[in-house]
Amino acid sequence: MSNLKKRIAIFASGSGSNAQKIMEYFKNSDTIEVGLILTNNPDAFVLQRADNFEIPSHIFDKQEFTKTDNIINLLENHSIDLIVLAGFLWLIPQNLLNAYPNKIINIHPSLLPKYGGKGMYGDKVHLEIMKNNETESGVTIHFVNQHFDEGEIIYQSHFKITKNDNLEMIKFKGQQLEHTHYPKVIEGLLKKMKSI
């Protein structure tokens, strides 16, 4: 058994509230650590969050992400075991999927397969749910494949929507579930991974 910690890389495009919760959750772990934060947005607040935890970060553009192996090399140099998408809005290119088979996960703010697919993220998801007068929603954690929100589902958690719930309330309920369950699911997946 290796005594090295399992290492996570988090990809985020924006504020990074899920990234924050994951960094907090594993801050004092003996077995798992966040090793790298990556973003396609030089203004993303997640970079500040990474700084606060003294975790290295990397900003990339579409060219580097989709046309080179730079990101794969960077992940390998940081001994990354699992890639976690936390509000990351680009499709993952095939070379990265091949390098990390069943080792890239995402969280989506609905009960997939409902309200998934290209362009369905953040408030857009919740607004559709409200428009259709749904009585429940939730979050889905799933493996990532070459299509938006179509990978195998790992975990789902539900919440009720009442007729008085506005957008902010639905968002809040969803985020509570995300922040509670995402770090625990990540921990469970990493514990299942064999040490080399």
**pLDDT 10s digits, 38-81:** 999 999 999 999 999 999 999 999 999 999 999 999 999 999 99
Which structural domain, as residue segments, surrounds residue 44? 6-107+141-154+177-192
* DSSP E strand boundaries for the chain: 6-11, 32-39, 57-59, 82-85, 104-108, 136-143, 153-160
Structure tokens at 36: 């790298």
- Report pLDDT for 109: 97
Q: Is 62 exposed, middle or buried (0-12, 13-18, 19+ CB in 10 A)?
A: exposed
**Does the pLDDT value for residue 194 go beyond 90?**
no
- Report yes or no on 132 lying in a domain: no
* pTM as predicted: 0.96
What are the tens digits of pLDDT across the range 138-179?
999 999 999 999 999 999 999 999 999 999 999 999 999 999
User: For residue 150, what is the domain's CATH number?
Assistant: 3.40.50.170
Q: Who contacts 193 (Cβ-Cβ below 8 Å, separation ≥6)?
A: 6, 81, 82
- Report pLDDT for 98: 98
- Report yes or no on 170 lying in a domain: no
The amino acid that residue 118 corresponds to is K
- Report yes or no on 133 lying in a domain: no
- Report yes or no on 171 lying in a domain: no
Number of domains in the chain: 1
- Report pLDDT for 193: 86
pLDDT-based confidence at 4, cuts 50/70/90? Answer: confident
**Does the pLDDT value for residue 196 go beyond 70?**
no
- Report yes or no on 89 lying in a domain: yes
Marked catalytic residue, from 58, 78, 108, 142: 108
Do residues 31 and 5 make contact, with C-beta atoms less than 8 angstroms apart? yes
Mean pLDDT of the chain: 96
How many percent of the chain have pLDDT more than 70? 97
Rounded CA-CA distance 154/112 in Å is 11
- Report pLDDT for 88: 96
- Report pLDDT for 195: 53
- Report yes or no on 101 lying in a domain: yes
- Report yes or no on 124 lying in a domain: no
Q: Residue 39 phi/psi, 5° resolution?
A: -145, 150
The closest alpha carbon to 37, from 67, 71, 2, 1, belongs to 71
- Report yes or no on 172 lying in a domain: no
108 is a catalytic site residue:
yes
Residue range 110-126: mean pLDDT, rounded: 96
